[in-house]
Amino acid sequence: MALLQKMGWKLGTGLGKNNEGSLEPLKLDIKTDRKGLTSQEEHSKKGRGHHGGKGHGGGAGGGGGGIVTHDLSSKHPVSALMELCNKRRWGPPDFQLVHESGPDHKKHFLFKVIINGNSYQPSVASNNKKMAKASTAAACLQELGLIPRT
């Protein structure tokens, strides 16, 4: 509101060029605490899973709920493969063009990807380089068992 008043707006006048807008600007709900942003689901999970902490169960286990599997089938295969290589501390995937054929107006491309010393290559060529890289990454993720085979 202070910014609007600096710009010449007066309380009770409409907003906009012809003063036909709302008479009162929108009030923002500003978060001032430092707790972070959480959802209701996270609050309910924390409330159910924590029963006073120490004493029962022993050992170094996390209660079985610590393992989170991410669904990679909804992501673009190349970005999923890059994330996998970063997560497992492998080098970045090396996409290499293996085969390029066809006339200029209808080319076919075949890539292979080298990850951690292993080479992965799809069985069919694609119509453009972007799709060829995506199919190569998908074939690699399928070989690694991270996405289901189609």
How many domains would you assign to the chain?
1
Residue 134 lies in a domain: yes
Encode pLDDT of 53-97 as tens digits.
444 444 444 444 333 455 677 889 999 999 999 999 999 999 999
Q: What are 146's two structure tokens? A: 């991270």
Question: Residue 138: what pLDDT?
Answer: 94
Summarize the confidence of residues 1-13 as an average pLDDT.
77
Does 112 reside within a domain?
A: yes
The H-or-E segment that residue 110 falls in is strand 108-115
The answer to whether position 103 is within a domain reads: yes
**Is 101 within a domain?**
yes
CB 114 within 8 A of CB 91: no
Residue 138 lies in a domain: yes
Asked, for residue 13, whether it belongs to a domain, the answer is no
Query: In terms of pLDDT, which residue wins out, 51 or 142?
Result: 142
Whether the per-residue pLDDT at 130 is higher than 90: the answer is: yes
Q: For residue 26, tell me if it sits in a domain.
A: no
Q: Which of 88, 84, 85 is CA-nearest to residue 70?
A: 84
Domain housing 136? 72-143
In the predicted model, what is the mean pLDDT of residues 100-125? Answer: 96
Q: What is the pLDDT of residue 123?
A: 94
In a domain, 90, yes or no: yes
pLDDT in tens, 47-64: 555 444 444 444 444 444
Domain CATH code at residue 103: 3.30.160.20
Q: What is the pLDDT of residue 43?
A: 63
Q: Residue 16 CB: number of other CB atoms within 10 A?
A: 9
pLDDT in tens, 8-30: 777 778 777 787 777 776 677 77
